[in-house]
Amino acid sequence: MGLEVFGVIGAIVSQAAGIPQLLRLLKTRKARDVSLLTFIMLLVGNLIMLFYFSICFDIVGLTFSSFGTVMCLILIVVTILFRRNVNHERE
């Protein structure tokens, strides 16, 4: 295994980076200051990595890319929903 451990640890940390933002969104229900563009760009990057790892048959890469893709999708959907709720409350 050797140096691969660093790759796995790096993948875990980078793919889990959205968890604190998701927890804050769910706690505060405020998404005004959340950058959708950031999560859209992360989603595109994860989809590209997902494609690459599927061609290479890299199960570890597929696993982390899949998790990252799902995390980005959840963050995007939650952000949009909470922004819509604020807009409806103002009307």
Q: What is the DSSP letter of 40?
A: H
Residue type, 23: L
Q: Which two tokens stand for residue 20?
A: 């604190």
3-state secondary structure of 6: helix
Q: What is the pLDDT of residue 82?
A: 92
Q: What is the DSSP string of 45-91?
A: HHHHHHHHHHHHT-HHHHHHHHHHHHHHHHHHHHHHHHHHHHHHHH-
* C-alpha to C-alpha distance for 62 and 55, rounded to whole angstroms: 10
Predicted pLDDT at 1 = 63
From first to last of the 91 residues of the chain, give the pLDDT tens digit.
677 888 888 888 988 888 999 999 999 988 888 899 999 999 999 999 999 999 999 998 899 999 999 999 999 999 999 988 766 666 5
∠ Cα 44 46 48 (to 5°) = 70
